[in-house]
Structure 1
Amino acid sequence: MAVTDTQSATALPRGVIARLRSMLNGLLGGSGEASVTRRLAGTIFVIRVVSAGLAYLSQILLARWMGGSDYGVYVYVWTWVLLLGSMMDFGISASAQKIIPEYRTSGEHALLRGFLSGSRWMTFAVSSAVSLLLAGVIRALSPWIGANEIVPLTIGCLTLPPFVVANTQDGIARSHDWMRLGLMPQFIVRQALIIGFTAGAFALGFHLGATAAMLASAGAVWIAMIGQMVVLNRRLEGHIEPGPKAYDFRGWLAISLPILLVEGFYLLLSYTDVLVLQQFRPSEEVGVYFAVVKTLALVSFIHYAMSATTAHRFAEYHALGDKPRLSAYVAHAINWTFWPSLAATIVLLALGKPLLWLFGPQFVVGYDIMFVAAIGLVVRSAIGPVERLLNMLGHQHICALAYALAFVMNLALCVALVPHFGGHGAAAATSISLVFETVLLFWIVRRRLGLHVLAFGKRDS
């Protein structure tokens, strides 16, 4: 249902306003661990918002400079880079927030030093090998791939190794509460470089097609990763005492691979809609849907901020055996995920048409899709970062199963709905799957941990 009255759409109940005002006061003050967490989460959120602004600007410029068809190809290829690049680190970027706190707590400094260097070399070596293999597969399948997609896909393969290493370094940095170091290279520097490179090419009169845009994106990923590596190494030298290194690759993978399943199914759930759209609908429609997703990204950033801030603390409190502290911290994380997400959703829906118009007048047709897509995001935010809680407390397998079931549901619904309903069908399929995933995760945490992980209602102490 479209919003026709902006003022009524943005008017929040008094109780919600009071709760948000209380949250703002808590965010700005206090010195306890909850206040520190809120400030760290606030830092992450600001970084993601600035990043979203840069990404939004870059997508607007690319859509206008490239045209609908080339832009659709670029979105398709970049989606594959995001999907594969986020999965090819074996889950190390997420498991680092479990492994590093446990090594610190137990005093296993040799293993800690080994992990800080060995994890990055391992992910770089394997991702490079896989990227070369994928490039060969693309060449072999070239007769069945669109001629305008072959070169951008090949460039995308060359983008994967630095993308994977950057994710690994992000996890290491966040485990030390270095949020800006973990996130800014990927989300600020990289986006700024993409804008700079593509704007330069356009100003010089080059044809800005999908190939040129992917070259700019690949260069930006490599430069941002190398700069992050230099700074991270210097910070670690001043934080970790030099000494012998021990490498427990088998142990790291034993922890990481189940988490990889969780992350992998989550990413598949996140990108299935775009990938299925590309198969059944024109590239122009893919571009419109992608613009809708980008517009609603602010809501998911809030969930991401709390997940990135709290995961290693879940692991730390669990390692210490402090269940009351863990329970209170979980409740805090859920509260600070849902209410800001709800407020952000209302604002974005009210401003949806002018935001989509920035991409071009033809993108406004996706406005009503926003309302369908927003349902799943809001429902999912009501249980906060519980998937990180399950992963950090050793319940990776059941969490992976929940995500797998949600992904299968999403894929089946997308295949059934997208050919007939296009972007509306993709948004409906994703929202239904997110609601199913939310209910399933709530039930799992209730049964396994005895916690009421919901932003409202009675919560266990």
Structure 2
Amino acid sequence: MAVMDAQPGTTGPAGLIARLRAKLTGGSSEASLTRRLAGTIFVIRVISAGLAYVSQVLLARWMGTSDYGVYVYVWTWVLLLGSMMDFGISASAQKIIPEYRTSGEQALLRGFLSGSRWLTFAVSTLVSLALAGIVKLLSPWIDPAEELPLYIGCMTLPAFVVANTQDGIARSHDWMQLGLMPQFIIRQALIIGLTAAAFLLGYHLGAVAAMVASAGAVWIAMTGQMLVLNRKLADHIGPGPKAYDIRGWLAISLPILLVESFYMLLSYTDVLVLQQFRPSDEVGVYFAVVKTLALVSFIHYAMSATTAHRFAEYNALGDKARLSAYVAHAINWTFWPSLAATIVLLAL
């Protein structure tokens, strides 16, 4: 170490910056790759949060707080149900795909890459039709201002669910931008663009118009993501027979769904319950403010999205030492940045 410290170019500010850059982004090691991918995810989520704040401010001003509260209420239902209606396959993809790759089961891999999306689309479509029927049955007890936006929300769910599934597939191949940008950047930008166009053209921008714009944004972003993902998969995996182990997929996915469902309930129940007790305008204000705390959770999201499929891969290989070291690395790069972000938020 003494010899290395004495080498030219490693002392002074320039050397410190070089070492810091090498630690954070340099090299080709798995740890460096993980940090780069996690950094990419974090940047995407921060940009998404910025777009979400902009859209909340603009929609609240263009729509009025009451209509905005109705929109937030319906959109929260879409987020909650859409995140659960894929049976946990978007998360289990990060276990299933690496295991199929490691074991060389190409037929099952090809089957999962296409069959998982068809499965989630078919089931989410049926569930959406059933939910629309429930809205119809409960219409005498539902606020008339909420009824049509709820129907539009039901139409949004299949595309939302397929986009989640494609996100899991893309992240399992380290295609983080393809997995996250359609949902967190493109979709948000489309919602802002479509609602702004309606507002500038003089249309009444109520909860119905905002939900139509949101549904269109979800379907457009999902379709574009599907086209790019299919092209990349075709370049990455050769054509051949497909095998479908739906029972095996669900055996892995449903326990994950159970855990994630409780997490989703914790994330969204506050808005859904608040709507039953407070006016819609207060719900809109609450929703806009409370999401500030989500900034810290982006760090955990970035690391988990980057590392989950590698945990599965190392476990499948039986490389316990490598797995243990990688887990320790993931913990360190989750805890310390989260602590720093929390301190910054408290200071602000």
- Using structure 1 for the length normalisation, give the TM-score: 0.70
Q: In the alignment, does 2:160 pair up with 1:163?
A: yes
State the partner residue of 1:123. Answer: 120
Deviation at 1:334, TM superposition (A): 1.3
Q: Distance in 1 between matches of 2:220 and 2:276?
A: 32
Deviation at 1:282, TM superposition (A): 2.3
1:92 corresponds to which of 86, 89, 93: 89
Q: Distance in 2 between matches of 1:22 and 1:138?
A: 59
Task: Show CA shifts across 1:356-398 (max 9, x none).
Answer: xxxxxxxxxxxxxxxxxxxxxxxxxxxxxxxxxxxxxxxxxxx
Task: Show CA shifts across 1:212-252 (max 9, x none).
Answer: 11100000000000000000000000000111000111111
State the partner residue of 1:420. Answer: none
Q: In the alignment, does 2:194 pair up with 1:191?
A: no
Q: Distance in 1 between matches of 2:38 and 2:215?
A: 29
For residues 103-252 of structure 1, the aligned pairs below 5 Å read 103-252=100-249
1:75 corresponds to which of 65, 72, 75: 72
State the partner residue of 2:23. Answer: 26
Q: In the alignment, does 2:329 pair up with 1:332?
A: yes
State the partner residue of 1:58. Answer: 55
**Unaligned stretches of 5+ residues in structure 2:** 1-17
State the partner residue of 1:396. Answer: none
For residues 417-428 of structure 1, the aligned pairs below 5 Å read none
CA contact (8 A) 2:25 2:33 kept: no
1:317 corresponds to which of 311, 314, 331: 314
Deviation at 1:324, TM superposition (A): 1.7
Deviation at 1:24, TM superposition (A): 6.8
Deviation at 1:25, TM superposition (A): 5.7
Q: Distance in 2 between matches of 1:24 and 1:133?
A: 53
Q: In the alignment, does 2:276 pair up with 1:271?
A: no
Q: Distance in 1 between matches of 2:284 and 2:333?
A: 32
Q: Distance in 1 between matches of 2:105 and 2:252?
A: 17
SS in 2 for 1:296: helix
Task: Show CA shifts across 1:399-421 (max 9, x none).
Answer: xxxxxxxxxxxxxxxxxxxxxxx
Q: Distance in 1 between matches of 2:77 and 2:24?
A: 37
Q: Distance in 2 between matches of 1:288 and 1:22?
A: 45
CA contact (8 A) 2:166 2:226 kept: yes
State the partner residue of 2:5. Answer: none
Task: Show CA shifts across 1:290-332 (max 9, x none).
Answer: 1122222211111110010000001011111111211111111
Q: Distance in 2 between matches of 1:47 and 1:94?
A: 19
CA contact (8 A) 2:100 2:109 kept: yes
Q: Distance in 1 between matches of 2:23 and 2:187?
A: 32
Deviation at 1:339, TM superposition (A): 1.7
SS in 1 for 2:204: coil
State the partner residue of 1:254. Answer: 251
Q: Distance in 1 between matches of 2:60 and 2:304?
A: 31
Structure with the bigger RCO (C-alpha within 8 Å, sep 6+) is 2
Letter of the aligned partner of 1:341 in structure 2? Answer: S
Deviation at 1:30, TM superposition (A): 2.8
SS in 2 for 1:222: helix
RMSD: 1.5
Letter of the aligned partner of 2:224 in structure 1? Answer: G
State the partner residue of 2:340. Answer: 343
Deviation at 1:342, TM superposition (A): 2.1
Letter of the aligned partner of 2:186 in structure 1? Answer: V
Deviation at 1:107, TM superposition (A): 0.7
1:102 corresponds to which of 94, 99, 104: 99
Q: Distance in 1 between matches of 2:19 and 2:265?
A: 36
- Using structure 2 for the length normalisation, give the TM-score: 0.92
State the partner residue of 2:7. Answer: none
State the partner residue of 1:297. Answer: 294
Q: Distance in 2 between matches of 1:154 and 1:224?
A: 20
Deviation at 1:129, TM superposition (A): 0.7
Identity %: 85
Q: In the alignment, does 2:60 pair up with 1:41?
A: no
State the partner residue of 2:13. Answer: none
Q: Distance in 1 between matches of 2:343 and 2:42?
A: 18
Residues 23 and 317 (structure 1), Cα distance of their counterparts in 2 relative to 1, 3 Å cut: farther
